[in-house]
């Protein structure tokens, strides 16, 4: 390679080559006036950059100071928050302790309240059953309405059936016995007796009246003569004859009663009906004495006024005797076994029920 370089032909200098130094000198003379401007620009640029750097540094320092102040404030707030958090934690622990104590006390109150509620519900059912038993006892003593007495006893038994207490077995057994006694007791058919007395009143108007004296047939007055007598003697004679016909004298040894007028017959029938109505009133009022007296008086009036041998009279008399034998005050069943047993059970429950716990006092300043 060196060999080739030596053998290579050298270029022939041209004619203008001696003028190059002159051109370089001229260019140098041209660039010298621009150097101060360039230096000034560079200096200005340096000053601008320095000013910018100084401004940026100042802003950075101010921002740093602001950040430091902010951090200091945040640090102080953090310390304050930590202090408050510590206080809150202490309050929370204290509150948790109080809540735990209150929860324990509340659980005790709830247990006591549940027990009281159980006793109260049972006592309410027992008191209601006792009310029905008292009504049944009053109804059985003062009335003859056995259906109502049985219904009241059955209602009390239905209430006791809802409670699962073995002590109620004896009470329910007594109620069942009382229901059986009420159903087995004789009943008074008031509606039937009233209907029979109504029928007897309607029969009274059809009974035949006694006819002790027959109606006279010869007491009819003759027709007055149309001719007038000429002499007063003849008139006197006619008057005497007429008087003889009007006055009739009979000699009887038998006790003959006078014939009853229609008004008198109506009054007697109405009197008997009034006696029967009085018997109805006594039946409704359960007054046995007035009932017997009214029927006795009605029988006396019937036997004295009407024909005894008549079929209607005999039938009515038999019916009134049957009604008279009816007892208005039959033996009432005694209901007095179940109520004392239930009262004793209620007293035992009241003695065994837990006392009411006082309410928890609320603390202030939580």
**Each residue of 298-339: pLDDT tens digit?**
999 899 888 888 898 899 999 999 998 888 877 778 888 999
C-alpha separations of 17 from 11, 91, 140, 348 in Å: 12, 104, 164, 148
Q: What is the pTM of this model?
A: 0.45
Q: Would you say residue 133 has pLDDT above 60?
A: yes
- At 206 the three-state DSSP class reads coil
Q: Read off φ and ψ for residue 282, nearest 5 degrees.
A: -65, -35
CATH entry 1.50.10 includes domain 116-186+332-351:
no
- Structure token pair of residue 322: 């049957």
**Spatial separation of the C-alpha atoms in residues 188 and 283, rounded to whole Å:** 10
Quick one: fold of 188-210+258-329?
A: de novo design (two linked rop proteins) (1.20.1440)
Confidence (pLDDT) at 332:
77
User: What percent of the chain has a predicted confidence (pLDDT) above 70?
Assistant: 70
* H or E stretch covering 306: none
Q: Where are the domains of the chain?
A: 116-186+332-351, 188-210+258-329
With a cut of 70, say whether residue 52 has pLDDT above it: yes
Model pLDDT, residue 362: 44
Q: Among 88-92, 178-182, 247-251, 351-355, which is the least confidently predicted range?
A: 247-251
| Greatest C-alpha distance within the chain | 239
CB 133 within 8 Å of CB 342: yes
Tokens 């009197």 belong to which residue?
271
pLDDT of residue 240: 63
- Greatest mean pLDDT range, 122-131, 152-161, 263-272, 353-362: 152-161
User: pLDDT tens digits, residue range 61-73?
Assistant: 888 888 888 888 8
Side-chain-side CA neighbours of 51 within 13 Å: the count stands at 6
Per DSSP, the three-state class of 25 is helix
Q: Is the pLDDT of residue 228 over 90?
A: no
Overall size of the chain counted in residues? 366
pLDDT for the residue 175: 95
CA–CA separation, 27 and 23 (whole Å)? 6
Q: What is the pLDDT of residues 87-119, one digit of tens each?
A: 888 888 888 888 888 888 877 767 666 655 555
Say what the pLDDT of residue 319 is.
92
- pLDDT, residue 121, reads 74
Which helix or strand (DSSP H or E) is residue 32 part of? none
Contact yes or no for 336/137 (Cβ under 8 A): yes
Residues 138-171 have pLDDT tens digits of 988 888 788 899 999 999 999 999 988 888 999 9
Please tell me which residue, 191 or 229, carries the higher pLDDT value.
191
* Count of CB atoms situated within 10 Å of the CB of 102: 14
- Contact between residue 338 and residue 174 where contact means Cβ atoms under 8 Å apart: yes
* Opening angle at CA 230, ends 225 and 234, nearest 5: 70
């Amino acid at each position: 390679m060196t060999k080739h370089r030596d053998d290579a032909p050298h270029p022939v200098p041209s004619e203008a080559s001696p003028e190059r130094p002159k051109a370089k000198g001229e260019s140098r003379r041209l660039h010298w006036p621009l150097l101060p401007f360039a230096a000034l620009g560079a200096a200005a640029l340096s000053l601008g950059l320095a000013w910018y750097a100084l401004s940026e540094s100042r802003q950075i320092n101010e921002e740093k100071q602001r950040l430091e102040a902010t951090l200091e404030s945040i640090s102080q707030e953090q310390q304050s928050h930590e202090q408050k958090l510590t206080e809150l934690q202490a309050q929370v622990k204290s509150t948790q302790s109080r809540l735990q104590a209150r929860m324990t006390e509340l659980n005790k109150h709830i247990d006591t309240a549940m027990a009281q509620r159980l006793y109260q519900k049972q006592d309410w059912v027992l008191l209601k059953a006792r009310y029905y038993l008292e009504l049944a006892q009053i109804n059985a003593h003062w009335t003859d309405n056995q259906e109502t007495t049985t219904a009241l006893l059955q209602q009390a038994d239905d209430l006791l059936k809802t409670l699962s207490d073995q002590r109620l077995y004896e009470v329910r057994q007594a109620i069942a016995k009382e229901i059986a006694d009420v159903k087995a007791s004789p009943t008074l058919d008031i509606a039937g007796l009233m209907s029979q007395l109504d029928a007897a009143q309607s029969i009274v108007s059809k009974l035949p009246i006694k006819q002790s004296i027959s109606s006279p047939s010869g007491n009819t007055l003759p027709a007055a003569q149309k001719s007038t007598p000429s002499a007063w003697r003849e008139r006197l004679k006619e008057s005497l004859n007429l008087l003889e016909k009007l006055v009739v004298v009979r000699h009887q040894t038998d006790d003959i009663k006078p014939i009853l007028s229609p008004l008198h017959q109506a009054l007697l029938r109405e009197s008997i009906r009034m006696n029967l109505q009085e018997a109805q009133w006594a039946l409704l009022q359960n007054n046995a004495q007035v009932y017997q007296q009214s029927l006795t008086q009605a029988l006396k009036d019937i036997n004295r006024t009407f024909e005894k041998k008549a079929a209607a009279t005999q039938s009515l008399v038999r019916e009134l005797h049957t009604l008279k034998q009816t007892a208005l005050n039959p033996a009432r069943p005694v209901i007095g076994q179940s109520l004392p047993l239930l009262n004793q059970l209620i007293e035992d429950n009241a003695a065994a029920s837990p006392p009411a716990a006082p309410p928890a006092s609320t603390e202030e300043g939580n």
